Chain A
Amino acid sequence: MGAYVVRRLWQMVPTLIGVILLVFFLFNWVGGDPAYVLAGLFSNDAQIEAIRRELGLDQPLWVQLWIFVQQVVTFDFGNSWTSGEPVSSLFLSRLPATITLLLPLLVIETVLCLALAVLLAWLRGELIDRVTMVIFTTAMSVSILVFIILGQYFLAYRWGLFPVQGWSDDLWTNLTRYAPLPILLGLLVSIAPNTRLFRSFVIEEVNQEYVRTAYAKGLSRRRVLFVHVLRNSMIPVITFVVSNLPALLLGSFLLERFFGIPGMGREIILAVERSDFPVIKATTVYLAIATMLFNLLGDLLYQVTDPRVELK
């Protein structure tokens, strides 16, 4: 296991180099001269020259790349171009809101979708199963935007069941007052694709031989599905959820934007709107690192939960 982890970490190095090169290429070459972006409309040559010197843009390209690598290694991307806040503290201040929203959503979503998936696998081929699958396909075709717009309009604005938007500093207030509606809408959006995916995991398990053995022993269908199959199909589900955690940090950006939640997703949208390059660069690099680490974690969990899996 130890050797495996070391080798996997070692394999991440070329990928990380690639991510750094890609981000550097995107923002220093495709994006045009950052000095002009930063200086904005009201600038003269002297100002731009000063900014260029400050950012190291007057240096040759490889020196600039070296500066960028140093930034990545030291976690110091300087200050946000718009708010002037250091990028690292910006992250730390936005993370709690995202996690407050994400964690309950993720737990409820996973449990609910897995239960539904097993239930659908039980009713496989019956009318309910087929009708549900068609409903899911239709639900997945309606844009996420529509779910959020309608949910916010009816549940919050018209019927007043929830606050229309807002966020506080208190975790309990957030969880009980501001987070429930975004979480509910997030559930509505994710239930169809996730249940479909989990159902395919479950069905793969149903086709295994141990299921036949369990039936042959005379176990009831309920016991086979909800004990044997459920436990085994949790393995790919856990791997899926863990591997996707970093992407999920941003995945709720629409919810955060609509409900005014000061989280990571909303921050990155704001950064893109304002061409706040340091924030986008830092987010991209660190989320890429997080994605690779969580992928590894997912694979390790797979091995822990399923000893048959051999780590190569």
Chain B
Amino acid sequence: MNAVLSKNNAPVAEPVRSMWQLALRRFRADRIGVVSAVVVLAGLLLCLASAAGWMASAWNQEVGPSDRPPAWWVSGSAAEPSSAQPGTLAKKGAATPTDIEDPIAAELQEAALSIGRQSSQRREPTPTDIVDPIEAELAQARQQVTGSAGPSIGLGDATLWMGTDKWGRDVLAKTIKGAQTSILVGLSAALMATLIGAMLGAVTGWFGGWADDLGNWVYNVINAIPSILLILAIAAVLGTKGEWAIVLILGLTSWTGVYRLMRGEYMKQRQREYVRAAEAIGASSWRQIFVHVLPNVSHVLLVQFSLLTVACIKAEVILSYLGFGVPVDGVSWGTMLTEAQNDLLVGKWWQLLSATLAMSIFVTALSLLTDALRDALDPRIVQQGGQDV
């Protein structure tokens, strides 16, 4: 008898761990998960730094000659610089014979675009700032001169790690700013979708009856329309473009999966004893839904949120590429890919590389993190996976 008691007592002596503590312990054991969590956190910090203006705030300024290849590429291949990195003065002024492969049409277009940019920049300051635009142009001219004077000694070289785009903007800074836009848009849209889905799912799953019928009807309607079509239809009627339009479009169209899961969870949890107990002591329905049940299903929400963020970042890139997303004066990974497509045709690959690398690193890390989160938070899946030899 004593022995039995002591055996039963033994586990009690161990500190009681909550679901989250257990999950954290499982998560820590997952090496891929931890590494991807670090990468995702670093990306998020970068976004915050950029949003706060500590980084890449000058992405829109001309910091070097246009279309300069990345610094590591220029210094890496000694033979390349003369052709791959034509001096801007020579290019914009008298074209040297070696520049003959550069079509003049492209240059004209570039010049027109850069003039367009300058004039649009000029309009921004108030009339009292009259000194400012000239100064900017002077600085820019000076930079062009120094840029062409010595391609390998110029100050701009060492810092322009990913080169410049056709307006002489730092591609690295653009990538960081683009990351801020794409990631924040993805996060906001996913947050919106998760909130909508969670609220609807909780209420319909909990109350059942006509609320459930109504919820299912809305779900069926939204699900009957292929999501890409719904996204495009809303984009067509909204008419406005911009980050918030995308958040709205993606948030309104991608909540159905969360809804379905949460509805099921709430129907299941409602029958559990702890909920019956809460009901017995007189907790109101809303209190039961949000205080008692919500923490017990929050791990489902976290995984869904993470999945949705990946999907929304990808969708933002495509929408911006199509011109329904981030407007031309903004920058996101999508707009960078749009520019990069044209750049590539004239052999300028670094913007494509930069945006692609940044996006794939972050999204891969986020996907792997999602997998790790799911494994850590839902041990049943691990068991299922472990059963098979």
Contacts and interface: CB of A to CB of B under 8 A. Distances in A.
Interface string B346-389: 00000010001001101110011001000000000000100110
A203 interface: yes
Given A145-B317, A287-B229, A271 B236 contact: yes
Contacts of A247: 226-229
Given A19-B221, A19-B224, A140 B367 contact: yes
Interface in B297-339: 310, 314, 317-318, 321-324, 333-334, 337
B16 interface: no
B234 interface: yes
B112 interface: no
B225 A280 contact: no
Interface string B215-239: 0011011101111111011111111
B345 A250 contact: no
B232 A15 contact: no
Nearest to B317: A143
Contacts of B359: 141-143
B344 A207 contact: no
Given A19-B224, A287-B225, A137 B368 contact: yes
Given A27-B237, A284-B229, A146 B352 contact: yes
Contact of B388 (A138, A153, A207, A273): A207
A140 B314 CA distance: 10
A201 to B, nearest CB: 14
B61 interface: no
A37 to B, nearest CB: 8
Contact of A15 (B220, B227, B233, B234): B220
A203 B388 contact: yes
Interface in B199-226: 217-218, 220-222, 224-226
A280 to B, nearest CB: 5
Chain A residues touching B, range: 35 or more
B341 interface: yes
Contact of B218 (A18, A157, A254): A18
B348 to A, nearest CB: 12
A288 B227 CA distance: 10
A19 B228 contact: no
A131 to B, nearest CB: 12
Contacts of A9: none
Interface residues of B, number: 48
Nearest to A29: B237
Nearest to B224: A288
Given A27-B237, A247-B226, A277-B236, A206 B337 contact: no
Given A145-B321, A287-B229, A18 B368 contact: no
B55 to A, nearest CB: 23
Interface string B228-257: 111011111111000000000000000000
Interface in A110-129: 124
Nearest to B384: A207
Contacts of B234: 26, 30
A157 B345 contact: yes
Interface string A274-307: 0101001001100111011000000000000000
A284 B356 contact: no
Nearest to B333: A143
Contacts of B232: 268-269, 272, 280
A235 B227 CA distance: 24
A103 interface: no
A144 B337 CA distance: 11
A292 B220 CA distance: 9
Contacts of B362: 141
A149 interface: yes
B74 interface: no
A65 interface: no
A108 interface: no
Contacts of B218: 18
A23 B224 CA distance: 12
Contact of A153 (B314, B318, B345, B367): B345
A124 B387 CA distance: 12
B340 interface: yes
A253 interface: yes
Given A30-B238, A144-B318, A268 B344 contact: no
A162 B373 CA distance: 43
B220 A138 contact: no
A92 B233 CA distance: 21
A155 interface: no
A207 to B, nearest CB: 6
B364 to A, nearest CB: 4
18 contacts: A15-B220, A18-B218, A23-B233, A26-B237, A30-B237, A137-B364, A137-B368, A141-B360, A141-B363, A145-B337, A149-B341, A207-B384, A247-B227, A254-B318, A268-B232, A275-B239, A284-B225, A291-B226
Interface of B: 217-218, 220-222, 224-230, 232-239, 310, 314, 317-318, 321-324, 333-334, 337, 340-341, 344-345, 352, 356, 359-360, 362-364, 367-368, 371, 384, 387-388
Given A280-B236, A289-B224, 9 more contacts: A30-B238, A144-B318, A145-B341, A149-B340, A247-B229, A251-B226, A269-B322, A280-B232, A284-B230
Interface of A: 14-16, 18-19, 22-23, 26-27, 30-32, 124, 137-138, 140-146, 149-150, 153, 157, 203, 206-207, 246-247, 250-251, 253-254, 268-269, 271-273, 275, 277, 280, 283-284, 287-289, 291-292
